[in-house]
Chains A and B, each alone.
Chain A
Amino acid sequence: MNEGTTTRDYDWWLLAIVAAICALGVLEIYSATHGSALVGMHSKQIRWLVIGFVLMFILSRIDYHLIMDQAPVLYIIGITALVAVLLVGHTRFGAKRWIPVLGEFLQVSELVKLIIIIVLARFFAEVRTDELSLQDLIKAGLLVGIPLVLILKQPDLGTALVLMPMLIVGAFLAGLQWKHAAVIVLIGVLMLPVGWHFLKPYQKERVTSFLHPEEDAKGSGYQVLQSKIAVGSGGFWGKGFGNGSQNQLGYIPVRYSDFIMSAWAEEQGFKGVLLALGLYMALLLRLVQNAQRAKDRAGMFLVMGVTAALGFHVLVNVAMVIGAMPVTGIPLPLMSYGGSATLFVFLAIGLVMNVRLRRFVN
């Protein structure tokens, strides 16, 4: 069934948007690091982008039905990897998230995100009813719940949280009933205090400092404050490329990665933010469009799983940069520096391309 796909069938608009966002990212990584000990980071990022692009191309060529066929196997691989990383993983920055692959440290949870997208798509595609039954909803919940708990164990709250919108969007499109949604929301609210109990001290601190930033002068409250100062001082027109004092003098925390939007907003101002967020909106809407034109429900779920993951990344990261959400350590897709995260996004886009290439075939 993968015969007859041509380059004409690739979503060139989507690629153009992705390329533009990556370009902004590389530019800002360069600006944020060229004068520091991290100089050269932008070329490393370009390397990741090239690898990502190649992987995306390869993944798009394998019929997604074939991939989804292997969903149970992929799921077992994913769970095994998560268990493995807890047992033998490499600890960096206080969390066990990394395993060495080809001389680089890769985050297993990024791979698991991709697998969960595929597994959920497979699961929901197999639900034949127009309305999602409670039984199926619970099954889906369990499917997501196991890796979620394992990722929380690392601990990596941010990545664990990303699994939730995948589940919610999938369930919604699979015909989630409003009464079920209401009950879930209710349970969720009731569970909040329990969930709080399970948070690590540093996670609690992030939440409290988000709620009371003035009480935390140096911890994550400081990070968010510095980020807000960077964003706010950028004004409408920005301070200019390489001219952001908050960025160049290192006041913005991890300015080349999680807080790259802060650096971008400082140097490029509101007009630059308009461009970047405009591109993200175009990207997400283009993904939804691809879902709408998918050949079948399986493809639609796959694309929307990707959309949910990327949309959540953008929302949580950008909201964190402007102090509207707590610090969770979720990178900004395609702009933040990072190997695993970049590869994940390109592979996810590869899945979307895959669905796209096969919309007219058959």
Chain B
Amino acid sequence: MSYWFRNDNRLPQERLAAASYVIVGMITLLLLGFWKLQVIDSDKYGVMAERNRVRSIPIIAPRGRMLDRDGRVLVDNYPSFSVLLLRDDMSAVEKNLPAIADGLGLSLDDLKDQLNNTGALPKFQPIVIKPEATPADVAFIESHRADIPLLEMLMVHRRRYLPGGFMAHASGYVGEVSEQQIEAGNGKYRPGDVAGKSGLERQYNDMLVGTDGMRRVIVNSIGKEVGRLTQQEAIPGKQIQLTIDYDLQQVAETGLGDKKGAVIALDPRTGEVLAFASHPAPDPNDFAIRVSKEEWQRLNEDQGKPLLNRVTQAQLAPGSVFKIIMATAMLESKTPPQNFTAFCPGYGIFYGQMHKCWVYGKKSHGVVNLHEAIVQSCDVFFYNVGMRMGIDTISKYAKMLGLGAKTGIDMPSEESGLVPSEEWVQRVYHHKWYPGSTISVSIGQGSVMVTPLQVAYVIGGIASGGEFKQPHMLKDAQNVSEKRVELAESTVEQVTQGMYGVINEAGGTGNSVKLQGIEFCGKSGTAQMMSYGAASRLGLGKGKNDGWFVGFAPRRDPEIIVAAVVEDTSEHGGTAAGPVVRDIVKAYYDKKEKKTQGQSTAQAQKPAESPKAANKAEAAMKVAQQISEKKQQPE
């Protein structure tokens, strides 16, 4: 052994002591670091740890159902699965996107677009990438939990509507909330949420939507579910009962059939809507999942305008139905006096122009009074009345009775129609009113426009002696507004007598829809979409018409009023629209009679389900169940 270390015991004690201080200082600094994290910022990191650990998956609350007035289900739900994409880890999402698109049978480009569109949302919010998972999708997701831990399944409730577009315009449809709705909703909606887009679904959305619950699961660092926490159950949406009568609705739907038009039935005593049909109608079941851009475009561009709710939105010339308003105005304003008569040779010449009566070339009405003019729908009589009244008086009464304004029905986007006046033509067209135009307006042509709902509402109000009940579709609607217009008893009597005569007197234009034993009153209307002159000039012969019929029963204080319009028909209003109205009124009385005889079988019968959709959802659920059972077995 060499002796390199001999006798050297000089130890640098001061510097060794300094080392001790350094050690104490170092440990103290480290402890301060821990103090900052574990005591001062502990809450912040606690939240972050929870966010790591807990994944929240919404439990979608089922939307409230819609029932008819007897409790029969009109709109229902069925369970289905949506595929959610978790976006916490965007690099993993980008890497796995092709595999996901392939596995779920989605287009990679669409998926990328969707990701870009939702880029602004918080990353911890999953997005729905496939709304209706097939059993194959469920199997794909479950079998790739480990290598693609980005997919989750979400049980949702899809809307089920009666098939074939039954009552589609009244019920409306639901769809995924739009960007605007999310912004306007102020945190109420998440992307992928479903909200009412039109009709009652939209009107009563707040009532129908429930409160979504939350399933909270524990996930490990690779996103695998390893446990469950307490879950917040969803609160289902409220069920709403409508005033609609399934039976009458059925008659209305069948009656309209393939024809383009609308039918509305009201109870004028209450304002309750008994039937509400607009054709053509899209099948809202097709929207319940997700409408493709192409389908949506097709519906929008369709000449038949299937997305137009004709009951509240079609603004059409009322034709002769307007004569009821004219008659009421004449009797109330006494211009001309009620015993006024006119001679109808089949035409009349006003302000230098010839105006034909509808019987022109076939016969003449001869001398007619008001009653005969209503019953036979004499145009010349009302030309004379209109000329004597002037446009402003016509306008005043039409507006007073409720035309040119929304009825206030609980339905979004109602149109108000149009009642022309001198002021209106000045404001819109910047010229004076041509007195000749008054002649056309007198028989519901020219610029006057009404919606089918307005026709039922206004004529129902007149027949009810001036009591106008706000139309509504919710059975226990609160604060139904009511308008009272002072009408002389004689006015109501004469007008309803006239309408009774239309159907029940010889020579009436509505003889064909007579109902045995029922005080069925009505008025037909055939509005030319262009004048006879224009049509013949264009070589279209007779021209296409909008055929109207409005009918109610009984004659005084009616219980039901039905307005129907069939667009683009070559038929007369009484032929085109009359039978639908008659059938509904008849169905109403048949039902009433049954009830009074105590044979009411008001058992809630469930309308036919759409079996295809239900089966699909059940199959998906079964697969998911099997897989989760498998998972619970010890590995």
Chain A positions within 8 Å of B, measured between CB atoms, are 65-66, 68-69, 122, 125-126, 128, 130, 169, 172-175, 218, 226, 228-236, 245-246, 249-251, 265, 269-270, 273-274, 277-278, 280-281, 284-285, 288, 291-292, 294-298, 300, 304, 307, 311, 314-315, 318-319, 322, 324
Contacts and interface: CB of A to CB of B under 8 A. Distances in A.
A37 to B, nearest CB: 11
- For this complex, into which size category does the number of interface residues on chain B fall? 35 or more
Nearest to A273: B34
A169 to B, nearest CB: 7
A300 B19 CA distance: 13
Given A173-B12, A294-B11, A249 B38 contact: no
B53 interface: yes
Nearest to A281: B27
A218 B91 CA distance: 9
Contacts of B479: none
Q: What 5 A-B pairs are tightest by C-beta distance, nearest first?
A: A232-B45, A233-B49, A250-B221, A249-B220, A232-B37
Contact of B8 (A274, A296, A319): A296
Contacts of B34: 231, 265, 270, 273, 277, 322
A273 B37 CA distance: 12
A130 B12 CA distance: 9
Contacts of A69: 1-2
B533 interface: no
A274 B31 contact: yes
Interface in B7-40: 8-13, 15-17, 19-20, 23-24, 26-27, 30-31, 33-35, 37-39
B25 to A, nearest CB: 10
B31 A315 contact: no
Given A273-B38, A292-B17, 13 more contacts: A65-B1, A173-B16, A231-B34, A232-B45, A232-B49, A234-B42, A236-B42, A249-B219, A270-B35, A285-B24, A307-B19, A315-B26, A324-B33
B480 interface: no
9 contacts: A126-B5, A229-B52, A249-B52, A249-B53, A250-B222, A270-B34, A277-B30, A292-B11, A322-B33
B44 interface: yes
Given A292-B13, A304-B19, A298 B42 contact: no
Interface of B: 1-2, 4-5, 8-13, 15-17, 19-20, 23-24, 26-27, 30-31, 33-35, 37-39, 41-42, 44-46, 48-50, 52-53, 89, 91, 218-222, 226
B46 A173 contact: no
Nearest to B4: A126
Contacts of B35: 270
A234 B12 CA distance: 42
Contacts of A281: 23-24, 27
A119 B9 CA distance: 19
A319 B30 contact: yes
A3 B26 CA distance: 39
Contacts of A318: 30, 33
Contact of A297 (B11, B19, B52): B11
Nearest to A230: B49
Contact of A292 (B16, B44, B45): B16
Contact of B38 (A174, A265, A277): A265
A244 B191 CA distance: 33
Contact of A273 (B31, B49, B221, B226): B31
A297 B38 contact: no
Contacts of A173: 12, 15-16, 19
A301 to B, nearest CB: 10
Contacts of B2: 69
Contacts of B8: 125, 128, 296-298
Contacts of A307: 19, 23
Contacts of A265: 34, 38
